Amino acid sequence: MLQTIHVPRLNANEDELLIADILVSVGDEVEIGQPVFVIESSKATEDILAQTAGYVRRIAAKAGQVLAVGAPVCFLTDTADEPLPDLSLGETSPSQGKVAAEPAKLSAKQRLKAKRAAPRVAAHVAASASDSLEGLTDSSEIPWVKQMRGRIDEHCGPDLQRREQTVDRAVACPCAADGVFLAEGVTLEEGATLTARRIYLDRNAHVGRNTSLKADTIYLGAETRISGNVSLQAGEILIEDGVLIAGGTAADLSGGQTAHSRLIVGAASLIAGSVNLNTASEILLERECAISPRAMLFTHSFWQSVLEGYHPLFQSIRICENAWIGAGCQVLPGITVGPGSIVMSNSTVVQNVPAACLAGGVPAKVIRRDIRRELTTSEKLRIVKQLLREFAESLRFKNCEVASSSEFDAVMVSRSDIGMRSIVIAGPDGPAPTEHPERAIFLTLVSPITPLSSQSVFDLEERTFSGTEDRITHELRNFLRRRGIRFAPYAWNSDYRKGILA
C-alpha cells in the first residue's frame, strides 16, 4: 500500500517550510519513528519521522527546496517491489516549491518577513474550532454518567440512612444521615477527612494521608487510587473506574459553589500531580483523557467590575475522549477540547480546539489538523508485530528465554519462576484456540476469540481483556498501556511489581 509523507504544519504562522535535508534514499527500508527528512521553520529545525514502516520508492523533493505545507516529500510502500500507482501528481511543481537559486539561502528572519507580506494560503487553519464540536451530548445524558449517579442513589440515597465503613482512622461525617457507604477494602489513612452529605467509596479505593474530600456527593470508582496531600472539593464529584489521580491535585471552589459545581471524570483517565481543577462550574473529563502536571482548568474568571464593562465568566469546561492537556497549560472558562486532540505544554487555551488537532501557544492556536489517522487492518497488523518484537526485547532484558517465529506473529516466553506461555497474533484465518498451547495469549484484531480455561485474549479492536491472569499477562498489559493501548476492565493492578521483575 502506498503511503505519502507530506510537509507538516509546525505552526500557524508559516505555510511554507524549507527542506533542510533528505535523510533517506530510494530503496531504503525505514522503520516506524525513523527520521526521513529535516524541515526548517523560522523558529526551529525538526526531524520528520516515518509513521509507518516500509520501503522508500520515490522522493519528490530536494534539500534546499521551500515547499508548501501538505506538499508530498516521500512515498513508501509495504514491499520493495510493490507496483506503484501513477505518482505524477506527487512530483513537486513550481507552485509547490522552488529550488533555492543560491547556496546561501535566506535566513529564517528574512523568510518570515517575506511570508508576512504575502497573502495567506491556508486560511482554513484559522477557521472557528466550533465547526467540529457540534452535537456533543450534555453531561447529564451521557450513559456512564447516569450509571454513576445511579450508584450513588443505590448506596447513599437519603432515605436509606445507611452508614458502613472499613477504615483505619475515625472519619467525621456530620451529615451521615444521608448515607455514607465505604465498601470493604477502603483505607483512609491518618489525616483523612470526609465532610459530605453522600459519600460512596467503592472497593479497594485508596485515599492517601492528609487527604480532604469535601463535597455534597462523592463517588470514586473501583480501584481508584488517590495519593497523599490531595484535596477534592466540589458540589459533586463522580470518578469512574480506572482513574488515576496523582499527588498534589486540587479541585477547588475558589469561585464559589453553584448549582453547576461538579467534577466528572471518565474511565481510564489520568490527572497528574499538582493539577488545579476549579469547579465553580462543571468540569467534564471524558474517558481516557490525560491532564499533565501543573495544568490549571478555570471555570470562572472575575476581578474587574461588571459596572465598568468587564464580563466575568462562569462556564463549564469539557475535555473530550482521548484528549491530552500538556504540562503547565491553562484552560479558560467555556472551553471544549475535541476528541483525540493535544494541547501542547505551557499553552493558554482561550478558544475551542477541534477534534484530532494539535494546538499550542499563548493564546493556543491550531497547529496541525487530522493528527489521528484511520489505519487499515494490514497497517495495524504491522504495528502489532512491531510491538510484539519490542515486547520480546523487554522480556529478554528481564532474563526471560524468548523464541519467535520468522514473521514475529508468535513468541514463546519462559523463565523458571514464571513458567512458559506463548503469545500469538490471531489473524482472520488463524487457527482456533484449541489448536494452540493451553497457556496461549492471543492478540487479536479480528472477530472475538473465546479463550480456553487457561488461555488469555487481548482484543485490540474492542480494547477488552478476558481469560487467565498471571505475571506475563500483567507485564504485557502494562507494556501496551505504555503505548497508549488500555483495556477494559480498567480496574487492573498497574503496579509494575505485579509483572516480571528483571
pLDDT of residue 166: 47
Q: Which residue has the cell 525513523?
A: 34
What is the distance between the alpha carbons of residues 240 and 221, in angstroms, rounded to a whole number? 5
Verify that 458 and 418 share a domain, yes or no.
yes
Q: With contact defined as beta carbons under 8 Å apart, do 242 and 261 qualify?
A: no
Q: Where in the sequence is the domain holding 421, given as residue range(s)?
A: 377-498
Residue 131 within a domain: no
With 0-12 / 13-18 / 19 or more C-beta atoms within 10 angstroms meaning exposed / middle / buried, residue 289 is buried
pLDDT of residue 118: 41
**Ordered strands of the 324-325 beta sheet:** 187-188, 206-207, 225-226, 244-245, 270-271, 290-291, 324-325, 342-343, 358-360, 365-368
- Closest by Cα among 299, 293, 177, 313 to 235: 299
CA distances (Å), origin 447, targets 190, 378, 426, 436, 442: 49, 15, 9, 17, 12
Strand pairing of 456-459 and 72-77?
A: unpaired
What is the distance between the alpha carbons of residues 56 and 356, in angstroms, rounded to a whole number? 28
Verify that 404 and 492 share a domain, yes or no.
yes
pLDDT of residue 123: 32
Verify that 360 and 228 share a domain, yes or no.
yes
Residue 200 CB-half CA count within 13 A? 27
Other CB atoms within 10 A of residue 249 CB? 22
- Closest by Cα among 227, 232, 229 to 246: 227
pLDDT of residue 327: 95
Verify that 244 and 359 share a domain, yes or no.
yes
Verify that 30 and 79 share a domain, yes or no.
yes
H or E element that contains 271: strand 270-271
The domain total for the chain is 3
Other CB atoms within 10 A of residue 299 CB? 28
What is the distance between the alpha carbons of residues 361 and 445, in angstroms, rounded to a whole number? 38
Among 368, 397, 426, the domain-final residue is 368
Among 347, 368, 389, the domain-final residue is 368
What is the distance between the alpha carbons of residues 176 and 337, in angstroms, rounded to a whole number? 38
Verify that 255 and 347 share a domain, yes or no.
yes
Residue 467 within a domain: yes
- Closest by Cα among 425, 420, 423, 386 to 400: 420
Q: What are phi and psi of 131, to 5 degrees?
A: -65, -30
- Buried b / exposed e along 423-449 (16+ C-beta atoms within 10 A): bbbbeeebeebeebeebbbbbbbeeeb
Verify that 363 and 435 share a domain, yes or no.
no
pTM of the model: 0.67
Residue 315 within a domain: yes
Query: What's the CATH code of the domain at 114?
Result: 2.40.50.100
The whole-number mean pLDDT for each consecutive block of 10 residues of the chain, a chain of 502 residues, reads 85 79 89 86 78 88 86 89 66 38 48 46 36 76 88 66 46 53 64 67 67 70 63 74 76 79 89 88 93 93 81 87 96 94 95 93 90 87 92 91 87 86 78 69 83 87 89 90 86 61 64
For residue 78 the three cell numbers come to 509495504
Residue 412 within a domain: yes
Verify that 339 and 439 share a domain, yes or no.
no
Verify that 347 and 385 share a domain, yes or no.
no
pLDDT of residue 332: 93
pLDDT of residue 492: 61
